[in-house]
Amino acid sequence: MNKLGLFVVYLISIGRLAFGASFTVDAGHPSGKVSPRLYGLMTEEINHSYDGGLYAELIRNRVFLDDANTPAHWSVIKDDASDATIALDPANPCNDKLTTSLRLKIDKATRDHPAGVANSGYWGIPVKPNTRYRTTLLARSGAGFSGPLTVSIVAEDAKTVYASGKISGLGEKWNRFQVTLKTDRVVPTAKARFQITFEQPGTVWLGLVSLFPPTWNDRPNGLRKDLMQMLVDLKPKFLRFPGGNYLEGDTIETRFEWKKTIGPIEERHGHPCPWGYRSSDGLGLLEFLEWCEDMKAEPVLAVYAGYSLRGIHVNPGPELEPYLKEALEEIEYVIGDTRTTWGARRAKDGHPKPFNLTYVEIGNEDWFDKSGSYDARFAQFHDAIKAPYPHLKTISTIANDQPEKMRVHSRKPDMIDEHYYRSTDEFLHMSPDYARKYDRSGPEIFVGEWAAHEDAKIKPWDAAARQQPPTPSMKAALGDAAFMAAMERNSDLILMQCYAPLLVNVNPGGRQWRPDLIGYDALSSFGSPSYYAFQVFSRNLGDEILAMQSVETTIQGAATRDSKTGEIFIKLVNPQDKPESLQLELKGIASLASKATAITLTAALGEINSIVHPHNVIPTTTTLEHVQPVFSYTLPPHSIVVLKLKSRS
Ligand code: AHR
């Protein structure tokens, strides 16, 4: 070593002594490949994620099946000079899939005193300026009445009409009617309802009433734009669906029965979801797949595998055969070409091109099946799927830390799904060593559900949880970030991970679980601090893992590099309530561009975002000057930082 070299070594060691806390990144020898699918999303119908959430339909109980006894969410409109009644009419359904209709009988109505029926939507109808809303009715009328009907979006107090249109030509046969309603320069509000009114007496039966605002990519049965933008901004590589518990159902009959979720919306009967309300099935199998397509993400398809939440299991063997068939047909619907039965059906439904599929998850959280039947059920599904589709990989839902006798032994699953709902403190404690215990030769690991909770004692579904904000605070985000860093460090083995739950309608009665990544009401949405932690991690990811070593610090982190651009991403998490000065050393690198970028998310532990304050905690970007392979950096208290460094050859 020449004199200059010795001098540099001297400076480095002086720096070490001065700083104490240090991180060394080995940029000379990547220790593994980052999984190209690492960051993804998990979704199910919970917290009104779809109905009253991502699925853009605005009419609640559009086919009148939410309650068997009354037209829930529908009310009569009349005044002292008009009269009307509404009732469910199971004797007059519009087709054989829907088992009832709504009979609307107008006994007295005039132009000045109209009567009719109103729908309150999912906690209001969102009214936005200069916006087109597509109304669809399936209707028939009694003899001698052909309309017109007025359909409109009006203020809750009925004083302001935001948009309206007419429907005429009704007859005694069921027919489909469409009209577009357009708002002008209105002040956005959700204090509005949708109504159908008459100006003369008559009787009408309604089979379906639907109202769609503009959707993402203009899909007719599509998704809400603001929420899709937030999801796309996370750059997810996959979407795990349809659950979660929503896949399993409370009972076998209420499982996610995919065939009932395809086809025209007026043929979707819907079904009770395990989270205490009825799903319209408007967001069905094809919509899940198109949602993936719109995010440029791959589906991770979970198939019902014979276990439902009330502890009911289907015996492996012949009894399980119908469910195997159902799953194989589902896979054919996803990837079969148009010469196959279900590929042809997909084409008929509007999507001839098969979707990409690599992973099929067999059930969900089957460690709850205390009968011990999962090993045999898994084997049956695994063999049946691998025979026609050897390229598909199967995921077992029983994690390595479950008792031996519960786990899958008779086959080697390609992947294992692990779920971690832990407190921030637990994540901070477990993350430094996470995945060290695993056999690097497989199976691959999927962390298919995880989230840091501020307080482990409060269960996500408890009454006490309902007293807390629906989305996590900065404290939870710190636990999330530490765990994400751990998964990145191990992403040669942890091939996929997704936070859960993803979505929550923040209205009273809208949620069943906390915390959730993204919150919304009818009109607007916001990301939690955890959303932004996930976003800055997912969007700044290389394809090579760089080993990191820390000395004398509680800071946790991960480092990756983009092998094409040479850009290095260092993620650091400071859970302490004081700043931490670190010496960062990049070994094996000749020099760095002197300017670098720091993205920082920092706030007091209790800080949250909300509908009213959506940007209270968001990342800020700054430029760092004079960056060298050894440099000092001070992390603010309670902070999550991504440093982006450019190597210079
Ligand atoms: O994410 C909420 C629930 O937690 C999921 O439905 C289930 O898989 C898990 O127990």
Establish whether residue 369 lines the binding site of ligand 1, counting it when its CB lies within 6 angstroms of any ligand atom: no
* Residues in the chain with pLDDT values less than 50: 1, 6, 8-17
| Ligand 1 centroid from CA 250, angstroms | 13
Establish whether residue 417 lines the binding site of ligand 1, counting it when its CB lies within 6 angstroms of any ligand atom: no
pLDDT tens per residue, range 473-532: 999 999 999 999 999 999 999 999 999 999 999 999 999 999 999 999 999 999 999 999
Q: What is the DSSP string of 473-514?
A: -HHHHHHHHHHHHHHHHTTTTEEEE--S--EEE-STTS-SSS
Ligand 1 atom nearest to CA at 421: 4
Establish whether residue 365 lines the binding site of ligand 1, counting it when its CB lies within 6 angstroms of any ligand atom: yes
Preceding amide of 443 cis, omega within 30? yes
Closest residue to atom 7 of ligand 1, CA basis: 244
Establish whether residue 24 lines the binding site of ligand 1, counting it when its CB lies within 6 angstroms of any ligand atom: no
Phi, psi (degrees; rounded to nearest 5) at 425: -60, -40
Give the pLDDT of residue 14: 47
Establish whether residue 447 lines the binding site of ligand 1, counting it when its CB lies within 6 angstroms of any ligand atom: no
> Can you give the pTM of this predicted structure?
0.96
Establish whether residue 222 lines the binding site of ligand 1, counting it when its CB lies within 6 angstroms of any ligand atom: no
Token readout for 17 is: 């002594």
Ligand 1 atom nearest to CA at 513: 2
Distance (Å, rounded) from C-alpha 122 to C-alpha 46? 14
Q: How far is CA 442 from CA 447, 492, 512, in A?
A: 14, 10, 35
Dihedral through CA 259, CA 260, CA 263, CA 268, nearest 10? 180
pLDDT tens per residue, range 566-578: 999 999 999 999 9
Ligand 1 atom nearest to CA at 274: 6
Establish whether residue 449 lines the binding site of ligand 1, counting it when its CB lies within 6 angstroms of any ligand atom: yes
Q: Are residues 146 and 170 in contact, defined by beta-carbon separation less than 8 angstroms?
A: yes
| Residue whose structure tokens are 């010469």 | 339
Give the pLDDT of residue 20: 87
Establish whether residue 479 lines the binding site of ligand 1, counting it when its CB lies within 6 angstroms of any ligand atom: no
| Ligand 1 centroid from CA 451, angstroms | 11
Give the pLDDT of residue 404: 86
Our mutation pick for probing the ligand 1 site, out of 49, 365, 498, counting the most ligand atoms within 8 A of Cβ, is: 365
Distance (Å, rounded) from C-alpha 328 to C-alpha 631? 56
Establish whether residue 243 lines the binding site of ligand 1, counting it when its CB lies within 6 angstroms of any ligand atom: yes
Q: Are residues 183 and 69 in contact, defined by beta-carbon separation less than 8 angstroms?
A: no
Establish whether residue 500 lines the binding site of ligand 1, counting it when its CB lies within 6 angstroms of any ligand atom: yes
Distance (Å, rounded) from C-alpha 268 to C-alpha 63? 9
Establish whether residue 501 lines the binding site of ligand 1, counting it when its CB lies within 6 angstroms of any ligand atom: yes
Closest residue to atom 5 of ligand 1, CA basis: 244
Token readout for 377 is: 């059920």
Ligand 1 atom nearest to CA at 501: 1
Establish whether residue 513 lines the binding site of ligand 1, counting it when its CB lies within 6 angstroms of any ligand atom: yes
Closest residue to atom 4 of ligand 1, CA basis: 244
Establish whether residue 245 lines the binding site of ligand 1, counting it when its CB lies within 6 angstroms of any ligand atom: yes
Half-sphere exposure of 170 (CA within 13 A, CB side): 23
Closest residue to atom 2 of ligand 1, CA basis: 501
Give the pLDDT of residue 310: 97
| Ligand 1 centroid from CA 499, angstroms | 11
Q: Which residues, including other chains, have CB under 8 Å from residue 530's CB and lie 6 or more apart?
A: 451, 452, 471, 472, 476, 477, 480, 499, 515, 517
| Ligand 1 centroid from CA 241, angstroms | 12
Closest residue to atom 9 of ligand 1, CA basis: 244
Give the pLDDT of residue 18: 52
Establish whether residue 30 lines the binding site of ligand 1, counting it when its CB lies within 6 angstroms of any ligand atom: no
Distance (Å, rounded) from C-alpha 460 to C-alpha 475? 16
Residue 153: closest CA among 187, 191, 185: 191
| Ligand 1 centroid from CA 245, angstroms | 6
Q: Are residues 575 and 638 in contact, defined by beta-carbon separation less than 8 angstroms?
A: yes
Give the pLDDT of residue 649: 58
Distance (Å, rounded) from C-alpha 22 to C-alpha 269? 60
pLDDT tens per residue, range 184-198: 999 999 999 999 999
Ligand 1 atom nearest to CA at 42: 1
Our mutation pick for probing the ligand 1 site, out of 254, 364, 420, 517, counting the most ligand atoms within 8 A of Cβ, is: 364
Token readout for 274 is: 């395990």
Ligand 1 atom nearest to CA at 364: 8
Closest residue to atom 3 of ligand 1, CA basis: 244
Closest residue to atom 8 of ligand 1, CA basis: 244
